[in-house]
Structure 1
Amino acid sequence: MSTPQTLKTTSAFYAQAGISFAVAVCALGFGIAYLPVDPWMRAFLSIAALFLVTSTFTLAKCVRDAQETSGLTSRLDQARMDRILAEHDPFREPV
């Protein structure tokens, strides 16, 4: 029987993700700040960017929660199957 592998994210990946997010948000803010448009257009773009960032975090959380739920379900199913196989004796006489 094969054991399921647990994927572990490294601290370097977390750092890279955090740095790339910070650079992207700063670049977006810089682009909006220096865009040659009226202030109300700049405000609209800022609100839209803020909405985009918050909805991205919400989507990431939903995907993570769905993945954790499916992982828990598959682990429970695997534990049930392991128990059934451990209790099964193919040479036992039927009752």
Structure 2
Amino acid sequence: MSTPNAQSKTTAAYVAQASIAFGVSLIGAGVGILYLPLDVWQRGFLAMSVLFLVTSSFTLAKVVRDRQESDSLRVRVDEARLEKLIAEHDPFKAA
């Protein structure tokens, strides 16, 4: 009894939409910071904050993805072990 591959595939349109949304939001934040009526050091602080937010978002997404992949792999290994035990078990054999 085999289980179907549960990994989902992303379409090219979804990747393009996510990339465009990321680019538009990052450019929008940059333009917003650029045109704020603030001193240069305040704009720099906001720009560094946005940069830190972006990089930490990528890191968080990678950690969540890696955890999901490791959980998925562990479940598949456990299922394979269980199937092996069931296949090797003979209910009519005396203990």
- Could you tell me the TM-score, scaled by structure 1's length? 0.89
Residue 93 of structure 1 corresponds to 93
**2:35: which partner in 1?**
34
Separation in structure 2 between the aligned mates of residue 63 and residue 40 of structure 1, nearest angstrom? 34
Question: Which residue does the alignment assign to 1:49?
Answer: 50
Letter in 2 for 1:13: Y
Report the TM-score when normalising by structure 2: 0.89
Q: What do the CA deviations read for 1:30-64 (whole angstroms, capped 9, x no partner)? A: 10011111111111100111111111111111111
Letter of the 1:25 partner, please give it.
L
**Which amino acid letter does the alignment assign opposite residue 94 of structure 1?**
A
CA RMSD after TM alignment = 1.4
Q: Residue 93 of structure 1: SS of its match in structure 2?
A: coil
Structure-2 residue corresponding to 1:3:
3
Structure 2 unmatched runs, 5+: none
List, as ranges, runs of 4+ consecutive aligned residues in structure 1 with deviation greater than 6 Å.
none
What secondary structure sits across from 1:58 in the alignment? Answer: helix
One-letter code aligned to 2:93: E
Query: Is structure 2 residue 81 aligned with structure 1 residue 80?
Result: yes
- Aligned residue identity for 1:51: F
